[in-house]
Amino acid sequence: QERLHGALLYAGRPPASSRRTVPAPADAGFGEAMVTGIAALALHGFATVPDLGALHRIDVLVPRTRRLRSTRFVEVVRATAPPPVPVRL
Tens digits of per-residue pLDDT, 54-71?
888 888 888 888 888 888
- Answer for the pair 21, 34: CB distance below 8 angstroms, yes or no: no
Whether the CA torsion 58, 40, 35, 59 is positive or negative: it is positive
Gap between the Cα atoms of 70 and 37, Å rounded: 15
Tell me the whole-structure pTM to 2 decimals: 0.63
- Of residues 48 and 17, more confidently modeled: 48
Q: What digits encode the pLDDT tens for the residues 24-52?
A: 555 555 567 788 889 888 888 889 999 87
Vertex 24: Cα angle to 45 and 6 (nearest 5): 140
Considering only 18-22, 31-35, 74-78, which range has the smallest mean pLDDT? Answer: 18-22
58 in Cβ contact with 35 (< 8 Å): yes
CA distance readout (Å), 54 to 25, 70, 82, 88:
19, 19, 28, 26
Asked if 4 and 27 count as a contact pair (C-beta separation under 8 A), the reply is yes
